[in-house]
Amino acid sequence: MEFQAVVMAAGGGSRMTDLTSSIPKPLLPVGNRPLLWYPLNLLERAGFEEVIVITRKEIQKMLNLDTKMKLDFVCISDNMDMGTADSLRHIHQKIKTDVLVLSCDLITDVDLYKVVDLFRTHDATLSMLMKKTHEPTEVVPGQKGKKKPVEQRDFIGVDDTGKRLLFMANEADLDEELVIKRSILQKHPRMHIRTGLMDAHLYCLKKYVVDFLVENRTITSLRSELIPHLVRKQFSSPTSLQQGLDNKEEDQKKKEQASLDIYSFIKEDNSLLKPASDNSCWNDHRGDMNESLHEGKVRCYVHIMKEGLCYRVNTLGLYIEANRQVPKLLLNLGLEEPLVHGSAQITDRGMIGSDSIIGSSTQVGEKTSIKHSIIGSMCTIKDKVKITNCIIMNSVTIEEGCCLQGSVICHNAVIEKGADIKDCLIGSDQRLETKAKHVNEVIVGTEQLMEI
């Protein structure tokens, strides 16, 4: 077994609480499949047979996944607030090999081997996936006219190949200037600084990185702490025990620092002492083991997707956008399933758009039009209803004469006769009165109406 796969599925979805307050993030339906299905399907297509899934008990109980892989669930207590690095540390006894870590909110058709081959070819400490940041094009319910929060940019430095990851910093962590260490520029005098890239939260990591995390408990997040630490460590020397040992106290301090240095966890590979040409069966073709011999032992790489789909479903806007793209994604993945489930009962099929998805056991009445929308399972949609650009979850009832546009309707909601809903989010179990009219609103929880 070359890699073990780990999917992080315990997060609460803090940037989309209007949705996740009633539906756990890994269970949010995207194209009538739980969000967690997408990273698992990516791994299954790549040939993985087993996956460790870090989640919470309530989520595991509700999961019903269609997969041939063996899923090893590790449940984190609800009262434990764990970052992604904490979660990986929590399962360290299960990790026996190098590891591939994914977030449950990743939806992509990337060729996974492109990330893995970077890791193999360059004997990398880290290889990761990035893609150009995607701005949602659709109106986000409840946010029309509201000023968008300013996202802090990431500055990503790569070499001429665009694959070696040389520098990483977030705008929030910088002063007025972007400072590049001389040690980086000495080895890579031409560095390209890029912004507008999204970290897909897909990482190949050496086993010794997990060992390092076990000892270094100050690191809680993979994305914001561990990955930048590894990138910086490429161009710094191992912590030395030979300098400044003036007394026993300082000696002990130096030893403690060295014990937490990533270099102290890297096992020596005697084969690296041999000439590079004798070292690897693929070296003459793809790898550059001279780099392994002459540069630092910490090496970070990135695969930047230039085409294809890649979303992190971590905001309401991106949740809506991902649902819009699902028919195209399923086609790209070769999943040639009918978009309208065979058990759905539809009176006028000609009024259902060719890019709409309708789930099992849903009933659609006469003269009802459904365009550019996703309808879940066991819904009842009565006569003369018009639905455009909507996401309707499971067991929703929409009565006669309703008009819904650009909205998200969560599980078990009831929309009574003649309601007119535009650019709204209607929470689970909500009931809208007859002829209700709502525009750009969020109706969730116990509050009958909450306008953003």
Q: Where is 251: in which H helix or E strand? A: helix 248-259
Cα distance between residue 209 and residue 264, in whole Å: 11
Strands 397-398 and 70-75 come out as: unpaired
Cα distance between residue 406 and residue 408, in whole Å: 7
pLDDT: is 276 or 196 the higher one?
196
Cα distance between residue 193 and residue 92, in whole Å: 34
Tens-digit pLDDT profile for residues 404-446? 999 999 999 999 999 999 999 999 999 999 999 999 999 987 5
DSSP 224: I
Give the model's confidence band at 21: pLDDT under 50 very low, under 70 low, under 90 confident, else very high.
confident
- Mean pLDDT across 222-227: 93
Q: Which long-range contacts (CB under 8 A, 24 or more apart) does 405-411 make?
A: 406/138, 406/139, 406/141, 407/141, 408/19, 408/141, 408/316, 408/319, 408/320, 410/19, 410/22, 410/23, 411/22, 411/23, 411/376
Does pLDDT of 253 surpass 80?
no
- Mean pLDDT across 394-410: 96
A 10 A CB-CB count for 329 gives 19
Cα distance between residue 434 and residue 382, in whole Å: 14
Cα distance between residue 178 and residue 154, in whole Å: 11
- Say if residues 425 and 439 touch (Cβ distance below 8 Å): no
Short-list 15, 60, 62, CA closest to 411: 62
Helix (H, G, I), strand (E, B) or coil at 381: strand
Cα distance between residue 41 and residue 36, in whole Å: 9
Backbone region of residue 413 per phi and psi (left: phi > 0; alpha: psi in -120 to 50; beta: other values) = beta
Cα distance between residue 420 and residue 438, in whole Å: 7
Give the model's confidence band at 349: pLDDT under 50 very low, under 70 low, under 90 confident, else very high.
confident
Helix (H), strand (E), coil (C) string for 120-164: HHCCCCEEEEEEECCCCCCCCCCCCCCCCCCCCCEEEEECCCCCE
- For 142, the token pair is 């409840």
- For 41, the token pair is 């399907």
Cα distance between residue 364 and residue 293, in whole Å: 66
Backbone region of residue 378 per phi and psi (left: phi > 0; alpha: psi in -120 to 50; beta: other values) = left
- Mean pLDDT across 24-41: 94
Q: Write down the pLDDT at residue 211.
A: 95
Q: Write down the pLDDT at residue 275.
A: 41
Give the model's confidence band at 69: pLDDT under 50 very low, under 70 low, under 90 confident, else very high.
very high
**Residue 193: beta bridge partners?**
157
Looking at 161-170, 325-334, 432-441, which range is the least confident one? 325-334
**Residue 408: beta bridge partners?**
391, 425
Does pLDDT of 257 surpass 80?
no
- Say if residues 310 and 322 touch (Cβ distance below 8 Å): no
The sign of the dihedral angle between the CA atoms of 450, 409, 26, 108 is negative
Looking at 33-37, 92-96, 125-129, 284-288, which range is the least confident one? 284-288
Q: Where is 8: in which H helix or E strand? A: strand 3-8
Helix (H, G, I), strand (E, B) or coil at 346: strand
Q: Write down the pLDDT at residue 6.
A: 97
Alpha-carbon Rg for the chain in angstroms? 25
- Say if residues 213 and 92 touch (Cβ distance below 8 Å): yes
Does pLDDT of 293 surpass 60?
no
pLDDT: is 240 or 363 the higher one?
363
Q: Write down the pLDDT at residue 252.
A: 52
Helix (H, G, I), strand (E, B) or coil at 304: strand
Short-list 334, 335, 410, CA closest to 21: 410
- Mean pLDDT across 48-52: 95
Cα distance between residue 305 and residue 65, in whole Å: 28
Rounded to whole angstroms, what are the CA distances from 24 to 82, 138, 368, 399? 16, 23, 31, 28
Give the model's confidence band at 131: pLDDT under 50 very low, under 70 low, under 90 confident, else very high.
very high
Q: Side chain identity at 395, as an amino acid letter?
A: S
Please state, rounded to an integer, the average pLDDT across all residues of the chain: 85
Q: Side chain identity at 203, as an amino acid letter?
A: Y
Q: Write down the pLDDT at residue 241.
A: 44
Give the model's confidence band at 300: pLDDT under 50 very low, under 70 low, under 90 confident, else very high.
very high
- Mean pLDDT across 26-36: 94
- For 172, the token pair is 């929030």
- Mean pLDDT across 290-308: 77
Task: Return the percentage of the chain with pLDDT > 70, whole number.
Answer: 85
- Tell whether pTM > 0.85: yes
Does pLDDT of 451 surpass 90?
no
Cα distance between residue 378 and residue 344, in whole Å: 8
Does pLDDT of 155 surpass 50?
yes
Cα distance between residue 320 and residue 18, in whole Å: 13
